[in-house]
Structure 1
């Protein structure tokens, strides 16, 4: 694909950070050479044992060693297991309670909260990124070129968890020193941009639909897309609201660790070091090699140095023979959950699904692919795009390039997304016995209009609605306040969400929760521009006719206040 040259003034370096539960990746590209997307593959290592570490990704692990922060491959192989903090990403979203707490509440945290852990880790990534850019491009180019960051987040996360990720990036000295904009993109959408771009263009037709299953370390995220245009660029839209769960390959590791401890934990010499080496072999080799066609008695070698020979247990010469039948028991519950998600996504789609594209580290599993193949309609192709492990970070770079020069650098465009929940706000409305009978006990008297009023929901997006970055949603409202209580300085609004599959309710109940507090500063608007109206109770009231504009992006929302035909970008959104 030919790219037109971009003017030198618009030149940027687009950096994507895929901060994962078990591994993280960083890739970048210059807007001048958008076809050259470079993934970082060389990482800092510990000075103890490792010579040098070349890998497409780096472990998402931390160790606080005195005043030093060790991360990724720089944590010594000999470091005690109880000093290593991992899987802490999952603690960013407390709404997905389950395992996040249990896994990461270990002594190594030393009372540090998840925000600090993420900030420290992202900062280390950022420092290494800057070192790599200076080495590859030269100090002069890096110093004189604007940077822009695209950070990936699971689509199933709450708005709060996504916002916390962005804030951690903004706090991280490794990134904040560059004063560069930071954008969020959902992981499955990034993966889709990469995977759909790589599909054979001759086999694609307008109207074809695909499920993208992004199976990573902690989360499994699914979205279905329908092709709406093939030329000049591939355009797609979401076919059904995305779904997902915590059932990534981290759970396989946990099940394997539990299995090994139960099997060999009482043997002399079984310690943290043996466990760490066994986990390493399981993670890098066994998990990836295991297929459905392995005979039950086929064995996989797990190093257990220092354990005495024991034929009955299957230990010989420091190696443990793990049977395929045992592996199947470890894999099945996790794989079953992913299969159910895929089947649900297929049946929720209003259009026939042509293929399932598996991406992400777990998505590269042969066993997972074969099990899905056997569980869904034979007409549906199950595909594993090449470099599935890097799909998210590569797609995020492509998205960043497209944002920096939409006309020239867009390769795959997501036109519309499907809302995953009802979004709305709560306003006072005139009490109507026919409609509001069930909330009649909550009515109250309004002096301004001289009538009974009640709080009801104003839903501006319903679950399943198409939302587009190019078409903002507007909510008109009137903000009132008695003049004798002083001038209005802030206009506040709470945005609510309802994630249940029901129809949007008339009034707020226990299933409707606050997503964020939106606040606009109007203290700089001259007093004489604030409209007033005399109430039926004889008092004077301020009455401001406002609008809130909401733009729903891939993984975040932008709010703007409109008042007297002017835009006030001074809106702050605090997520709950």
Structure 2
């Protein structure tokens, strides 16, 4: 699916003002500050570094560990926001346990049909929708408000570390990660939220660039260059980014080492089967144990159990085959313990088998995603699965996958400490560093040389009608070229499963006939097909993708003249559309007369 980010590869910070320049030439004397934001469904993290630091050591990345509202160091802050009655906003750890806070709002950037039945039926998501309606805010607005608070804290933290003068002198490149399974409309919504949050506001050193990066790709960049990691040529690494909402898998084959060069081996996969489903399963377990009294608990009491006892207590330590090991949570004072089974010494006791059951369904789905990836990987390859993300740091998930995959010769890798949880924001910083043209690929510590398209992308168009090839119902007369055309035809120029080299994006040539006084604006209807064998004619399997329109930045007299058989004169505008797959999305650029059209002249619109 497409992203509104144009040009395809942003090598230099892109100005926010309308400009004909594709690239901004930056004087690197003062350096570039790269900020990576991992905006997650349940928790969000930020990392940062200067290009000078990354040149010396690509692992020299700073993490934000201190957050408003808590005195302890944490690698991430809750993706939670509250609009207070006095007009102020609380976010992250600042949110009061009794507040009507909005959570899971990242998911509402997706259409209902892309959320799935389980999420659409979730009471937590229903509450999120209700609070958005109550506050009269859209999902983009809420995401923007959260990002604004996160961004403000990020800049304040960096200023405290380096000084206002130093920060003001540096150009900022911001990389926000998004799930690879996100379609183009969701990526576009995230970009709108980032702009609304003020991330691209004018700064003393010049315009700030915004790059949207796939979460599993970012994680791969960070994890494969970690100290002690020694990938070998031709080995396969399946990066399993298991977060709060989504689980994304991308498989990379190592082409060479020192520096690491890798290509996407098979078409990536993902699903909405993240840690929130485990949390909901635990909440259902609590409801069964506490009975009807659970629903009458105060928000503070329920939050103490779910966040403190579960999220920060039980969940990170559960291992497979816990057997009869007991796990306990506090019993709130408003609970009548006499009528509650399993309460001892003021604590509710759960058997390990009960706790394990909350992980079972999600881990099963993740294991299936891994097995599906393995189907497309050549037999005999050395294969490792790298677990990253919040859920990716779970000991239970490691045990589960290690038990199921070891027998088929697949190794499971899980770093210790905060590395799995921070892999995405650290990788986002590396992604921003690698996007800089001033650093040639030959000196990059790690790079991705090619990606695999997850869908076929094409253009609805009319082609010369051929008897016995095209359907009669598609036959129509063209008054400009004075011949019969076949309508409803699709020209596919990016195929599902196609390997696309990073250095050679896919380009497809087209032309458009213009009347002498017609506006120099072209509108194209792009379509997609998720079937392996995409039809050449529009069918039910071919669905609308987006509308790509652009204003031609050339003089009319420079456009080729076309004269039909009636001697009527028109202009034949020839152009090329360039595409690069980015997870489930695609990034575009348009070329006219060999010249890339400026970003302000190109627009992508989703229905």
Same fold (TM over 0.5): yes
Where structure 1 has 5 or more consecutive residues not aligned to the other structure, the ranges are: 1-5
Counting only pairs closer than 5 Å after superposition, residues 187-202 of structure 1 correspond to structure 2 as: 187-198=215-226, 200=228, 202=230
Give CA-to-partner distance per residue, 1:462-521, whole Å, 9 cap, x none: 1111123321222111101444xx323201212222123x31210122222232222111
Residues 193 and 372 of structure 1: CA distance in aligned 2, closer, same or farther (over 3 Å): same
- Which one is further off, 406-415 or 529-538? 529-538
Q: Which residue of 1 aligns with 2:49?
A: 29
Equivalent of 1:505, from 515, 535, 540? Answer: 535
2:33 corresponds, among 6, 13, 16, to 13
Q: Is the 8 A contact 2:182 2:585 kept in 1?
A: no
- Contact 1:422-1:459 at 8 Å conserved across structures: yes
Measured at CA, do residues 142 and 134 of structure 1 come closer, stay the same or move farther in structure 2, by a change above 3 Å? Answer: same
2:382 is equivalent to residue 349 of structure 1: no
Return the match for 2:257 from 205, 208, 230: 230
| Residue 545 of structure 1 pairs with residue 568 of structure 2 | no
Determine if contact 1:123/1:174 at 8 Å carries over to the other structure: yes
**Aligned match of 1:257:** 283
Question: Aligned match of 2:449 in 410, 415, 420?
Answer: 415
Deviation, 1:125, is 0.6
In the other structure, the counterpart of 2:115 is 97
Q: What's the CA shift for 1:177?
A: 4.7
**Aligned partners of 1:554, 1:334: CA distance in 2, in Å?**
22
Q: Does 1:470 align with 2:503?
A: yes
Q: Deviations over 1:378-412 (max 9, x none)?
A: 22111102311111111111121222243386221
Residue number among 146, 153, 173 corresponding to 1:121 in the alignment: 146
**Structure 1 561/325 Cα, relative in aligned 2: closer, same or farther at 3 Å?**
closer
RMSD: 2.3
Measured at CA, do residues 488 and 422 of structure 1 come closer, stay the same or move farther in structure 2, by a change above 3 Å? same
Q: What is the DSSP-based 3-state SS (H/G/I as helix, E as strand, rest coil) of the residue aligned with 2:405?
A: coil
Report the Cα distance in structure 2 between the residues aligned to 1:210 and 1:528, rounded to whole angstroms: 53
1:292 & 1:63 partners in 2: Cα distance? 36
Question: Compared with structure 1, are the counterparts of its residues 562 and 399 closer, same or farther at alpha carbon in structure 2 (3 Å cutoff)?
Answer: closer
Query: For the Cα contact (< 8 Å) 1:221–1:245, is it kept in 2?
Result: yes
1:325 deviates by 1.9
2:364 pairs with one of 336, 353, 358: 336
Instruction: Determine if the alignment matches structure 1 residue 86 to structure 2 residue 86.
Output: no
Go from structure 1 to structure 2 and tell me whether the alpha carbon gap of 1:223 and 1:182 turns closer, same or farther (over 3 Å shift): same
Q: Could you list the per-position Cα deviations for residues 53-82 of structure 1 after superposition, in whole angstroms to 9, with x for gaps in the alignment?
A: 4210000001110211110011123x24xx
Q: Does the 8 A contact of 2:115 with 2:272 survive in 1? A: no
Q: What secondary structure does 1:112 align onto?
A: coil
SS in 2 for 1:226: strand
Equivalent-residue separation in structure 2 for 1:25 and 1:362 (angstroms): 14
Give the structure 2 partner of residue 492 of structure 1: 523
In structure 2, what is the equivalent of residue 428 of structure 1? Answer: 462
**Counterpart residue number, 1:74:** 94
Q: Which of 253, 270, 293 is residue 321 of structure 2 equivalent to?
A: 293
Residue pairs, 1:298-309, within 5 angstroms: 298-306=325-333, 307-309=335-337
Unaligned runs of 5+ in 2: 1-25
CA distance in 1, matches of 2:346, 2:549: 63
Q: 1:245-293: CA deviations, max 9, x gaps?
A: 0000011111111221233142386333222111011111211111112
Distance 1:451 1:425 in 2: 21
Counterpart-to-counterpart distance in 1, 2:317 and 2:519 = 65
Select which of 513, 517, 534 maps to 1:480: 513
Name which structure has the greater RCO, CA cutoff 8 Å, separation 6+: 2
Question: How do residues 56-455 of structure 1 correspond to structure 2 at under 5 angstroms?
Answer: 56-66=75-85, 67-77=87-97, 79-80=98-99, 83-94=100-111, 95-98=113-116, 99-101=118-120, 102=122, 103-106=124-127, 107-109=130-132, 110=134, 111-178=136-203, 179-198=207-226, 200=228, 202=230, 204-231=231-258, 233-267=259-293, 270-280=297-307, 281-295=309-323, 297-306=324-333, 307-310=335-338, 313-351=341-379, 352-378=381-407, 379-386=409-416, 387-404=419-436, 405-407=438-440, 410-437=444-471, 440-455=472-487
Counterparts of 1:510 and 1:480, CA distance in 2: 29
Distance between the aligned counterparts of 1:521 and 1:7, measured in 2? 31
